[in-house]
């Protein structure tokens, strides 16, 4: 026989299971952005964006000629716009890409980045900041939370 206390506990477990983050794409706590090669750099990879409350963790994994131990640090940013129409002023600074990787946390909600028109851009080096080597569109600029469409 099941006691009244057991029913309450089972009910709370069922209720708690339904209170997590949503399973649909617009409510997902993680987004992977493809970073495509730019300007013949030979560099490409991914950026994984993960929700951390009201902030977003950004992990860049870049492969290519300058993603080696001997390569200089490469500045990276989140910019407004898209890879084809990038606002040159960064919206959020990311940690430099060193040896092909970078991990940062920005003061922006993942859902806001998805819904806005934002892109992640990696530069060749600090001394060659105008040279873009890889870029990936985060959001569509549409309210449906879709991925890259540019």
Which two tokens mark 59?
Answer: 């992990």
pTM for the model: 0.74
Confidence (pLDDT) at 3: 52
In whole angstroms, what is the distance from residue 150 CA to residue 104 CA? 25
Strand partners, 82: 85
Q: Give yes or no for a contact between 94 and 120, defined as CB atoms under 8 angstroms apart.
A: yes
- Asked whether the CA dihedral 110, 68, 126, 86 is positive or negative, the reply is negative
Domains of the chain by start residue, with CATH: 24-137 (2.60.40.200)
In whole angstroms, what is the distance from residue 80 CA to residue 112 CA? 12
pLDDT tens string, the chain, 150 residues long: the values are 555 544 434 333 333 333 333 333 445 799 999 999 999 999 999 999 999 999 999 999 999 876 667 788 999 999 999 999 999 999 999 999 999 999 999 999 999 999 999 999 999 999 999 999 999 999 765 543 333 332
Reduced 3-state DSSP string for the chain: CCCHHHHHHHHHHHHHHCCCCCCCCCCCCEEEEEEEECCCCCCEEEEEEEEECCEEEEEEEEECCCCCCCCCCEEEEEEEEECCEEEEEEEEEEEEEECCEEEEEECCCHHHHHHCCEEEEEECCCCCCCCEEEEEECCCCCCCCCCCCC
Which two tokens mark 122?
Answer: 């990696």
Confidence (pLDDT) at 131: 93
């Amino acid at each position: 026989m099941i006691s009244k206390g057991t029913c309450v506990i089972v009910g709370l477990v069922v209720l708690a299971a339904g209170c997590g983050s949503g399973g649909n794409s617009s409510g997902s706590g993680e987004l992977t952005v493809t970073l495509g090669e730019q300007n013949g750099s030979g560099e490409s990879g991914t950026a994984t964006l993960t929700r951390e409350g009201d902030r977003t963790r950004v992990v860049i994994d870049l492969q290519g000629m300058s993603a080696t131990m001997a390569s200089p640090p490469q500045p990276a940013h989140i910019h407004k716009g898209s890879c084809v129409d990038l606002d040159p002023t960064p919206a959020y600074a990311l940690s430099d890409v060193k040896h092909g990787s970078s991990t940062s946390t920005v003061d922006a909600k993942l859902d806001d980045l998805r819904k806005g028109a934002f892109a992640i851009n990696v530069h060749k080096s600090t001394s060659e900041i105008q040279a873009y080597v890889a870029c990936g569109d985060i959001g569509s600029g549409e309210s449906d939370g879709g991925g890259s469409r540019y």
